[in-house]
Structure 1
Amino acid sequence: MGSATGGGMGILRYKVRAWRKAAEMTQADLALATGKTVQTISALECGRPTRQSTLDAVARVCLRTEWHSGDLLRGSWTGL
């Protein structure tokens, strides 16, 4: 549980990366859409500690796109 987001970070990082690729977005595209930096998006995808505001921003972008996945959105963002 060494991350700020709980024990499920490994699962979350792969789901975010898979969703981003399915949506045909680059890390730069997602960073721009969320108002975060590319480094922050990269850190999230690599499983590094991530602030709740970053997770919320990514969730909002996911919900705004037609590519969102029920698997990505199922459960809590803080500990899938």
Structure 2
Amino acid sequence: MSVNGGTDVDLSNAVWRKAGEGDGRDSVEVALLADGHVGLRDGKNPDGHVLVFTPGEWSAFVAGVEDGEFDRPES
């Protein structure tokens, strides 16, 4: 897989772990990859697409999660 202008990221040895807790039916899986990249995939579809974040992108994403940027509005 390539990201950011052709940087190759090898997913063949990725070790996937569930992000969060629960029964796994709605799981997201995360893998720490080479060169600090982070892979993110749908745990219900492990053979599907993988989002690959650079270290900077992952840091910004995590900061947004911690800051509540992606929280759903209360109804």
TM-score by length of 2: 0.30
* Higher Cα Rg, which structure: 2
Higher relative contact order (CA 8 A, sep 6+): 1
Structure having the larger proportion of residues in strand: 2
Structure having the larger proportion of residues in helix: 1
TM-score by length of 1: 0.29
